[in-house]
């Protein structure tokens, strides 16, 4: 299977992409993946060859009320499940870099981020996945109290008026429909056996997210011959790195040079 046979889908909630997200999208197109970027608001076309824009409502029929009441993270966690179910796209977060072409196996592409937790930054499940059906069913029930939450959180949700539990969960614990939900569903259905080791899709721990900007290296030791994707955990990267052009010699600068990402004609910073 070539990269062209594994089209990618991602989502941006907002009106302007960050340079880091543009770089990440460009990395998948560079490796030959057709990329669809869904959006919820008017979004300028980043003009990346191989990247097509589509409105999120073409896949997920959401209400403006929902979009306004939940965080972008919660919305993206819901959206990706519908995208995986209703399209042939493989989901990737906009802060994931393509290291090698993504290669689903038996319809699955999903990996651990810790010894016990599955990350959903890259997600491909078969159309008949019982875990996918389970999640979509439960997250369509407004009275659902996620069993993977702490007991104290569940008790707070159970005390809410009928039908407000699901939204209450999203407001109480914003990542509630993300990695923990996916881990729970895959475990419940036995599909946890398809989850790949951490180094394949999420090689570097989120606590070390600044390492990509170190001009003296440090990333390579985390990567292996079968690493396909690098989840940057952008929310964990220091603002100084996100705001500025990276240093020459850093992992992120080397990727930018490889995929011909332009910083407005400005050179990489020097140490």
Question: What does the pLDDT look like over 22-41, one tens digit per residue?
Answer: 999 999 999 999 999 999 99
- Judge whether residue 93 has pLDDT over 80: yes
Task: Indicate the pLDDT class of residue 14, thresholds 50, 70 and 90.
Answer: very high
In a domain, 158, yes or no: no
In a domain, 132, yes or no: no
When pLDDT is averaged across residues 99-113 and rounded to a whole number, the result is 98
pLDDT at 271: 92
Looking at per-residue confidence, does 10 or 69 come out higher? 10
DSSP code, position 149: S
pLDDT at 266: 92
The beta strand positions in the chain, using DSSP E, are 8-12, 35-39, 51-55, 90-92, 96-98, 109-112, 118-124, 229-231
204-226 residues labelled b (16+ CB within 10 A) or e (exposed) = beeeebebbbbbeebbeebeeee
pLDDT at 176: 96
Nearest alpha-carbon partner for 62 in 81, 43, 79: 79
When pLDDT is averaged across residues 206-231 and rounded to a whole number, the result is 97
When pLDDT is averaged across residues 153-177 and rounded to a whole number, the result is 96
- Judge whether residue 232 has pLDDT over 80: yes
- Judge whether residue 139 has pLDDT over 90: yes
When pLDDT is averaged across residues 35-58 and rounded to a whole number, the result is 96
- In angstroms, rounded to a whole number, what is the distance separating the alpha carbons of residues 9 and 83? 8
- Judge whether residue 1 has pLDDT over 80: no
- Judge whether residue 230 has pLDDT over 80: yes
- Judge whether residue 2 has pLDDT over 90: no
User: What integer best gives the mean pLDDT of the chain?
Assistant: 97
Give the chain's domain count.
1
The 10 Å Cβ neighbour count of residue 59 is: 21
In a domain, 266, yes or no: no
In a domain, 149, yes or no: no
pLDDT at 249: 97
For 149, half-sphere exposure in the C-beta direction (CA atoms, 13 angstrom radius) is: 23
Mapped onto helix, strand or coil, the DSSP state of residue 92 is: strand
In a domain, 154, yes or no: no
For 263, half-sphere exposure in the C-beta direction (CA atoms, 13 angstrom radius) is: 17
In a domain, 47, yes or no: yes
In a domain, 140, yes or no: no
Q: Which residues contact 137 (CB under 8 A, 6 or more apart)?
A: none
In a domain, 147, yes or no: no
Task: Indicate the pLDDT class of residue 198, thresholds 50, 70 and 90.
Answer: very high
Q: What's the full length of the chain, in residues?
A: 271
pLDDT at 33: 98
70-84 residues labelled b (16+ CB within 10 A) or e (exposed) = beebbbbbbbbbbbb
């Amino acid at each position: 299977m070539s990269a062209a046979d594994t089209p990618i889908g991602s989502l941006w909630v907002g009106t302007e992409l960050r340079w880091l997200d543009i770089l990440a999208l460009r990395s998948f197109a560079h490796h030959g993946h057709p990329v669809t970027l869904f959006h919820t608001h008017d979004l300028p076309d980043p003009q990346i060859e191989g990247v097509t824009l589509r409105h999120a409502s073409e896949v997920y029929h959401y209400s403006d009320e929902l979009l306004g009441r939940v965080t972008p993270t919660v919305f993206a966690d819901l959206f990706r499940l519908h995208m995986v179910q209703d399209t042939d796209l493989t989901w990737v977060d906009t802060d994931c870099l393509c290291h090698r072409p993504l290669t689903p196996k038996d319809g699955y592409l999903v990996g651990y981020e810790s010894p016990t937790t599955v990350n959903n930054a890259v997600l491909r499940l078969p159309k008949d996945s019982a875990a996918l059906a389970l999640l979509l069913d439960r997250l369509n029930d407004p009275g659902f109290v996620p069993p993977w939450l702490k007991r104290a959180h569940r008790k707070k949700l159970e005390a809410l008026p009928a039908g407000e539990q699901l939204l209450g969960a999203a407001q109480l614990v914003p990542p509630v429909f993300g990695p923990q939900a996916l881990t729970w569903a895959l475990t419940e259905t036995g599909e946890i056996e398809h989850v790949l080791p951490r180094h394949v899709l999420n090689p570097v721990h989120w606590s070390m997210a600044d390492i990509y900007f170190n001009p003296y290296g440090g990333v390579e030791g985390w990567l292996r011959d079968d690493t396909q994707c690098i989840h940057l955990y952008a929310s964990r990267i220091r603002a100084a790195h996100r705001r500025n052009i990276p240093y020459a010699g850093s992992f992120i600068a080397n990727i930018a040079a490889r995929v011909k990402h332009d910083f407005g004609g400005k050179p990489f910073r020097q140490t």
